[in-house]
Amino acid sequence: MTSLVHNITIDCADPYAQVTFWAQVTGFVEHPDYPNCRTTPRGC
């Protein structure tokens, strides 16, 4: 029998720092027309 992981949930105190870390690890670059920011919970 096999299983597939569809989602992973990670609880953290500073989600912006975690996103920044994983963006650097994976090489993710934000789209220039749709940047994320810290002023709103779900970005700008």
In a domain, 34, yes or no: yes
Residues 6+ apart with CB under 8 A from 22: 28
In a domain, 2, yes or no: no
In a domain, 43, yes or no: yes
In a domain, 31, yes or no: yes
The 10s digit of each residue's pLDDT in 1-44 is: 889 988 888 888 988 888 889 889 998 887 777 666 655 555 55
Q: List helix spans (H) across the chain.
A: 15-26
Residue 23 φ/ψ, nearest 5 degrees: -65, -40
Place of tokens 């919970």: 41
Looking at the structure of the chain, the number of domains it has is: 1
Domain that holds residue 26: 13-44
In a domain, 3, yes or no: no
Residue 38, CB half-sphere, CA atoms under 13 Å: how many?
7
In a domain, 6, yes or no: no
In a domain, 19, yes or no: yes
The pLDDT assigned to 25 comes to: 93
Residues 6+ apart with CB under 8 A from 29: 23
pTM confidence score: 0.49
